[in-house]
């Protein structure tokens, strides 16, 4: 009997078999902008990984090319004001951007999800406090708070990440809180509670997996925001410190030489814009893929 | 419209804003004074001269007395203190003068952002799923993905370098030049400040218009034989504006934040440039002063937005 049933099950391909994730992946592949963006981002990650072992020149090596010289065979993106190779610096800059972007979002997910789950599930005074803090944070200019924080903590990669997490965790917390609030009233949570599941099990075993889609979308949109923060801080000179390049500080260096050597400012500006765009298109695609109802 | 309830609400909000500003100001004050190192390190002074300077700024007193004096100064006289780098420069008049300049550029950016965003959003919604719509929605992602300093760079490249010098050097700002000034003085900075947000406004307007134009009362308006433009502007857009209004608070914050970079690029002697400069110069007194100013501006802007709801939607009351 059992084997017969198995044979039947194997012979009748059921269209209902596709899981949420494979469905989402199928929808994402059909979204052309999201697909192109994914390919670009994979390449960017590869370039950043490559830069750990290899850059065409040392990123801080001064005077290896004539200052302000344009793109040439030896220096594909030319040289900057002190004769450093722009391409090598751009590659290191990609590392910085990705570390900041992905690093902050990993922390934001941890903080935001924990706070959101607890506030949404336990409600009461905890929820009131969390909501109040979130509202206060919404009322102040986050970038400037991050600026002040980095200024107070001192400029380093870790402090930049901390500053961005402190000013950017609210969106995630608010979203997870909303999801939890609506989900805790649903039957499957009631069933879990009735069968004696502990709160930890309910929060992380039942509610969290069901909120994973929106969390991924939110985190994807958070990455370009964080990269933009870092570029902003570095552009003003309070972010990543020389000689380590960041796309923001490279652009700031280049803007003074706009008339004589526009390539210095254009290279990081274009890299930054395309990267932010790719993350935004991917976020759009993921949102449409994971929540088909929101499709335009 | 201005009922007693509304006035009480405004009063409460102003008190709340005052407390927020005070809190922000205190946090930054205490935070900065906890920093290791010497606030006067750039002075290269020793011995008695140094002691005199410390005394001049009351830095030789205990922190809590400094804090008390600072607070009384802010609350009673609106006095934000004296610049640590340029001795004798009072911060309050300096910051107020710079505020008028920043406000001029910011106002242009705001008008531009909202105007362009609304027009593009309505057009995209009316022409939904045509190539116009696709071009506009794709451009809007590009728009809000470009950092404002990248937009500023491109504008400078085009107007100051490629098209010859259209900007009077671009690094020059005539106070009170207004919209009659050269494009480099106000139009380019305003565009660079507003463009990313115009894209967001356009996206929001589009989504909210699409929702509204499917409503029954729009069909009724059509059935009455009203002109399409009248329907769109008077019936649809007005109702579609409510969700768009929510973005105005973040928009004002965005323009304030953006000005810190844009004023540096275009050489506008405003509040944003002062803020960035003071941070680099470690002029703590000015950093605290300008940040206090920003907190006040954001509070007032958020209040303004909330009052705007009442204007747009008579059903909303406080």
Interface A–B counts its CB contacts (< 8 A) at 107
- State the sign of the Cα–Cα–Cα–Cα dihedral A127, A132, A137, A138: positive
Q: Is pLDDT larger for residue A136 or for residue B135?
A: B135
Residue A68 domain-assigned (yes or no)? no
Which residue of chain A comes nearest to B144, CA vs CA?
A277
Looking at chain B from residue 161 to 190, which residues have their Cβ under 8 Å from any Cβ of chain A? 161
Tell me the pLDDT tens digit for each residue of A25-69: 888 888 888 899 999 999 999 999 998 888 888 877 777 777 787
Closest CA to A162 of A108, A225, A222: A108
B256, B294 contact by CB (below 8 A): yes
B173, B266 contact by CB (below 8 A): yes
What's residue B38's pLDDT?
57
Number of domains in chain B: 1
What's residue A91's pLDDT?
92
Residue B225, domain extent:
96-312
Chain A nearest CA to B201, separation (Å)? 16
The Cβ of residue A235 has, within 10 Å, a number of other Cβ atoms equal to 29
Residue A270 domain-assigned (yes or no)? yes
Residue B207 domain-assigned (yes or no)? yes
Measured distance CA(B82)–CA(B90) in Å, rounded: 5
CA distances in angstroms from B277 to A156, A168, B270, listed in the order given = 20, 25, 11
Residue B7 domain-assigned (yes or no)? no
Measured distance CA(B105)–CA(B177) in Å, rounded: 10
Chain B within 8 Å of A147 (Cβ-Cβ)? yes
Residue B87 domain-assigned (yes or no)? no
Chain A nearest CA to B138, separation (Å)? 9
Number of domains in chain A: 1
Closest CA to A277 of A106, A13, A17, A34: A34
Mean pLDDT calculated for residue range A219-245: 90
CATH number for the domain including B244? 1.10.3720.10
Residue B56 domain-assigned (yes or no)? no
CATH number for the domain including A170? 1.10.3720.10
A269–B153 C-beta distance less than 8 A: yes
Residue A8 domain-assigned (yes or no)? no
Which of B34, B146, B299 lies nearest to residue A273, judging by beta carbons?
A: B146
Which residue of chain B comes nearest to A143, CA vs CA?
B257
Residue A267, domain extent:
78-294
Residue B55 domain-assigned (yes or no)? no
For B253, residues 6+ apart whose C-beta sits below 8 A from its C-beta are A140, A141, A142, B298, B301
Cis upstream peptide for B273 (omega within 30°): no
What's residue B41's pLDDT?
54
Q: Which of A272-286, B257-271, B301-315 has the lowest mean pLDDT?
A: B301-315
What's residue B64's pLDDT?
78
Residue A247 domain-assigned (yes or no)? yes
Band of residue A70 on the pLDDT scale cut at 50, 70, 90: confident
What's residue A165's pLDDT?
94
| Contact list, A227 vs chain B (CB under 8 Å) | none
**H or E segment and range at residue A32:** helix A32-53
Residue A92 domain-assigned (yes or no)? yes
Tell me the pLDDT tens digit for each residue of A197-230: 898 899 998 999 988 889 999 999 999 999 999 9
A139–B20 C-beta distance less than 8 A: yes
Residue A22 domain-assigned (yes or no)? no
Residue A32 domain-assigned (yes or no)? no
Helices (H), chain B: 4-33, 47-56, 63-72, 91-126, 131-145, 148-156, 187-212, 216-223, 228-230, 238-245, 248-266, 271-281, 284-312
Band of residue A172 on the pLDDT scale cut at 50, 70, 90: very high
Closest CA to B125 of B224, B233, B245, B247: B233
Which residue of chain A comes nearest to B294, CA vs CA?
A141
Measured distance CA(B132)–CA(B206) in Å, rounded: 12
Grouping H, G, I as helix, E, B as strand and the rest as coil, residue A241 is: coil
- State the sign of the Cα–Cα–Cα–Cα dihedral B241, B246, B249, B252: negative
Mean pLDDT calculated for residue range B29-41: 65
Q: Which single residue is written with the structure tokens 């139009």?
A: B187
Buried b (16+ CB within 10 A) or exposed e, B31-51: bbeeeeeebbeeeeeeeeeee
What's residue B217's pLDDT?
86
Q: Residue B184 above 60 pLDDT? A: no
Tokens of residue A161, six digits: 């990440």
Measured distance CA(A192)–CA(A195) in Å, rounded: 5
- Output the pTM of the full model: 0.84
Grouping H, G, I as helix, E, B as strand and the rest as coil, residue B316 is: coil
Ramachandran region, residue B267 (left: φ > 0; alpha: ψ -120 to 50; beta: rest): left
The Cβ of residue B217 has, within 10 Å, a number of other Cβ atoms equal to 12
| Contact list, A259 vs chain B (CB under 8 Å) | 160-161
Residue A219 domain-assigned (yes or no)? yes
Measured distance CA(B145)–CA(A263) in Å, rounded: 20
Q: Residue A295 above 50 pLDDT? A: no
Which of B31, B279, B298 lies nearest to residue A140, judging by beta carbons?
A: B298
| Contact list, B161 vs chain A (CB under 8 Å) | 258-259, 262
A238–B153 C-beta distance less than 8 A: no
Which of A139, A270, A283, A286 to mutate: most B Cβ within 10 Å?
A139
């Amino acid at each position: 009997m059992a084997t017969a049933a198995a044979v039947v099950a194997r012979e009748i391909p059921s269209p209902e078999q596709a899981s949420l994730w494979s469905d989402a992946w199928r929808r994402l592949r059909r979204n052309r902008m999201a697909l192109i963006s994914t390919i670009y981002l994979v390449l960017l990650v590869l370039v950043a990984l490559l830069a750990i072992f290899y850059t065409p020149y040392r990123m801080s090596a001064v005077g290896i090319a004539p200052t302000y010289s344009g793109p040439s065979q030896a220096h594909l993106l030319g040289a900057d004001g002190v004769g450093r190779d722009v391409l090598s610096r751009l590659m290191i800059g990609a590392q910085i951007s990705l570390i900041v972007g992905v690093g902050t979002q990993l922390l934001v997910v941890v903080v935001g999800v924990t706070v959101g789950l607890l506030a949404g599930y336990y409600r009461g005074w905890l929820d009131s406090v969390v909501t109040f803090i979130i509202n206060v944070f919404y009322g102040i200019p986050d970038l400037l708070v991050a600026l002040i924080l980095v200024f107070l903590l001192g400029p380093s990669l870790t402090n930049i990440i901390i500053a961005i997490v402190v000013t950017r965790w609210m969106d995630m917390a608010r979203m997870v809180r909303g999801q939890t609030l609506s989900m805790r009233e649903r039957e499957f949570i009631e069933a879990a509670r009735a069968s004696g599941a502990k709160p930890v099990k309910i929060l992380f075993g039942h509610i969290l997996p069901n909120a994973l889609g929106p969390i991924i979308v939110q985190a994807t949109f958070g990455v370009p925001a964080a990269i933009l923060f870092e570029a902003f801080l570095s552009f003003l000179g309070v972010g990543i410190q020389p000689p380590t390049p960041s796309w923001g500080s490279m652009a700031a260096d280049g803007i003074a030489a706009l008339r004589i050597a526009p390539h210095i400012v254009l290279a990081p500006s274009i890299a930054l814009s395309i990267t932010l765009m790719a993350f935004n298109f991917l976020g759009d695609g993921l949102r449409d893929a994971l929540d088909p109802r929101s499709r335009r | 419209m201005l009922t007693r309830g509304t006035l009480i609400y405004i009063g409460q909000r102003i008190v709340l804003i005052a407390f927020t500003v005070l809190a922000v100001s205190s946090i930054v004050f205490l935070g900065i004074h906890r920093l290791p190192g010497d606030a006067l390190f750039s002075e290269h002074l020793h011995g008695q001269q140094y002691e005199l300077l410390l005394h001049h700024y009351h830095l030789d007193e205990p922190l809590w007395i400094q804090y008390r004096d600072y607070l009384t100064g802010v609350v009673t006289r609106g006095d934000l203190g004296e610049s640590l780098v340029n001795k004798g420069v009072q911060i309050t008049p300096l910051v107020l003068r710079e505020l008028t300049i920043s406000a001029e550029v910011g106002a242009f950016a705001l008008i531009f952002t909202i105007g362009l965003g609304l027009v593009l959003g309505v057009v995209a919604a009316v022409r939904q799923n045509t190539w116009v719509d696709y071009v506009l929605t794709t451009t809007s992602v590009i728009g809000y993905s470009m950092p404002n300093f990248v937009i500023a760079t491109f504008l400078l490249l085009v107007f100051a370098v490629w098209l010859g010098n259209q900007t009077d050097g671009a690094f020059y700002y005539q106070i009170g030049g207004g919209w009659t000034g050269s494009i480099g003085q106000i139009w380019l900075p305003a565009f660079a400040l507003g463009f990313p947000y115009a894209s967001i406004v356009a996206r929001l307007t589009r989504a909210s218009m699409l929702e509204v134009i499917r409503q029954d009362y729009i069909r009724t308006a059509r059935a009455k034989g009203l002109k399409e433009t009248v329907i769109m502007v008077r019936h649809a857009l007005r109702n579609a504006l409510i969700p768009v209004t929510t973005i105005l608070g973040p928009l004002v914050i965005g323009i304030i934040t953006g000005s810190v970079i844009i004023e540096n690029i275009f050489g506008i002697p405003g509040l944003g440039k002062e803020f960035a400069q003071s941070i680099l110069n470690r002029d703590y007194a000015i950093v605290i002063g300008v940040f206090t100013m920003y907190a006040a501006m954001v509070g007032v802007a958020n209040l303004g937005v909330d009052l705007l709801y009442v204007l747009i939607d008579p059903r909303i009351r406080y």
